[in-house]
Amino acid sequence: MLKFNNIHKKFGEKEVLKGINLEIKEGEFVAIIGASGCGKTTLIRTVNGFVIPDAGEVYLDNEKINYSDSNKLRKMRKKVGMVYQLFNLVERTNSLQNVLNGTLGSCEGFENLLSILGIFKKEKIKKALEYLDYVGLKDSIYDRADKRSGGQKQRVAIARALMQHPSLLLADEPIANLDPTTSHKILSLLKKINEETKLTTVVVIHHIDFVKSYFKRIVAMKNGVIVYDGNYDGLTEEKLHFIYSEHLDEIYSDKIRAEQCITA
Ligand SMILES: Nc1ncnc2c1ncn2[C@@H]1O[C@H](COP(=O)(O)OP(=O)(O)OP(=O)(O)O)[C@@H](O)[C@H]1O
Ligand SMILES: [Mg+2]
What's the domain range around 244?
1-79+167-264
Shared domain for 147 and 135, answered yes or no, is yes
The average pLDDT across 166-177 equals 94
Q: Ligand 1 centre from 43 Cα, in Å?
A: 10
* CB 16 near ligand 1, within 6 Å: yes
CATH code for position 103: 3.40.50.300
What average pLDDT does the structure give for the chain? 87
Interval 175-192: pLDDT, tens: 998 998 999 999 999 999
- DSSP, res 155: H
Shared domain for 181 and 146, answered yes or no, is no
Q: Where are the beta strands (DSSP E) in 34-117?
A: 55-60, 63-64, 80-84
Shared domain for 71 and 186, answered yes or no, is yes
Gyration radius from the chain CA atoms: 19
* Percent of the chain whose predicted confidence (pLDDT) is above 90: 60
Interval 196-213: pLDDT, tens: 999 999 999 988 889 989
| Residues near 145 by beta carbon (within 8 Å), at least 6 away in sequence | 87, 89, 90, 91, 92, 93, 94, 95, 98, 153, 156
Domain boundary among 165, 198, 216: 165
Shared domain for 112 and 152, answered yes or no, is yes
Q: Ligand 1 centre from 39 Cα, in Å?
A: 6
Please give the pLDDT value at position 21: 97
* CB 34 near ligand 1, within 6 Å: yes
> Considering only CA atoms, which residue is closest to atom 30 of ligand 1?
37
Interval 72-118: pLDDT, tens: 888 888 999 999 988 888 888 888 889 988 886 665 655 665 565 56
Shared domain for 41 and 74, answered yes or no, is yes
pLDDT bin (cut points 50, 70, 90) of residue 250 is: very low
